[in-house]
Amino acid sequence: MTGRERVLAAIDRKPVDRIPSDLWATPDVYRALKAHFHTDDQFEVWDKLGVDGVFRTGPKYIGKDRTLPDGTQTEIWGIQYKEEIDPDASEPEYWEQTVFPLQDFTDPKQLDDFNWENPADYDYDGLAAECREMSKKYAIMVGGVAPFFDLWNLFGQEQILVNLALRRELVEATLEHVCDYRHEQLRLICEATKGCADITGLSDDFGSQKGLVMSIDMIRHFFWPHYRRCAKLAKSYGLRLFHHDDGAIRDLIPDLIDIGIDILNPIQRRCVGMEVEGLKRDFGKQLSFHGAVDNQHVLPFGTPDEVREEVRNDLATLGSDGTGYVIAPCHCIPAGTPVDNVLAMYDEILKQG
């Protein structure tokens, strides 16, 4: 099987010749891997490690210049980020958000004059060409919808939680604007990439280390109607739905299955209720899984032998029936992780395959 065939078969819970793998990593880790393999090409790193891979992409913005008069570069809806740079590195380690455009909004009427932009202001033809080319080798994941994530980028994480409790009408009105935009953007993505894209994201971060960040009733009220609307659209184009949700989100999994989610990520097994044995037992006939190799302790701080043991455990549980699992780090491999641990992970995946 090719990597693309292997990944898609595993997601569809069909027989595979071995459990496929994927790689998420910070720039620091990618730099270290490129230096180890003497290459500047991310995909050569994948090849050297035996990564099957999921190629993730989206349309490039080509609309009106978002640069402010002082030269500050803004993002969608006026959101701004600051580069956090390691003095010894040549590129940003991560981006810290500095401007939350709706942070001081208190009344839904204030939203009427806000610039919600146009989802057509992106290069969908270029996206289609990129997907056609990359789909020759990789499974393709395009775009994504994340309503709660958009809300906290607009209001700030603390303020959106306050608003969810105290300003419900403001949140509901904002979600209408945000999700109308994202739904139309998803439609344009789906239309452009018909026949060459396989997956889209319908994701958020509702989990903490020990439980949900809000009540399940609140999630159902505010977010699931928009999830269902976007899921229906994506499914009408034959796309599989990938749900990324950090933390202890076991209580949400039955709802996610009902909505139509196909792939659950990142499987943070050290969080409450996220033990991999139980997830596979209770949901493995309805969901496939992506991730699970612990990036909080084992990958950054363990030994290569402990990494290998982690890989064997995940393959023996989430991959116990020989499918329904794409093994990968639980979210991005963090900066400072020893290269030897990354090499051990992918070497053990191939050995156990």
Q: What pLDDT was estimated at residue 83? A: 77
What are the pLDDT digits (tens) for 155-170?
999 999 999 999 999 9
Give mean pLDDT, residues 245-254.
97
Band of pLDDT at residue 300, cut at 50, 70 and 90: very high
Per DSSP, what are the bridge partners of residue 95?
83
Residue 88: pLDDT over 80: no
CA distance 294 to 331: 9
Helix, strand or coil for residue 114? coil
Residue 91: pLDDT over 80: no
Residue 84: pLDDT over 90: no
Per DSSP, what are the bridge partners of residue 196?
none
H or E stretch covering 95: strand 94-99
What are the pLDDT digits (tens) for 101-143?
999 999 999 999 999 999 999 999 999 999 999 999 999 999 9
H or E stretch covering 98: strand 94-99
Helix, strand or coil for residue 243? strand
Q: What pLDDT was estimated at residue 12? A: 98
C-alpha separations of 56 from 125, 139, 184 in Å: 16, 9, 19
Cα angle at 56 between 54 and 60, to 5 degrees? 160
Residue 92: pLDDT over 60: no
CA distance 77 to 116: 6
Domains of the chain (ranges plus CATH)?
3-352 (3.20.20.210)
What are the pLDDT digits (tens) for 315-340?
999 999 999 999 999 999 999 999 99
Q: What pLDDT was estimated at residue 46? A: 98
What are the pLDDT digits (tens) for 204-240?
999 999 999 999 999 999 999 999 999 999 999 999 9
At a CB cut-off of 8 Å and minimum separation 6, what does 129 contact?
A: none
**Amino acid sitting at position 256:** L
CA distance 263 to 190: 18
Tokens of 254: 């039955």
At a CB cut-off of 8 Å and minimum separation 6, what does 325 contact?
A: 10, 19, 288, 289, 290, 292, 314, 315, 318, 319
Band of pLDDT at residue 353, cut at 50, 70 and 90: confident
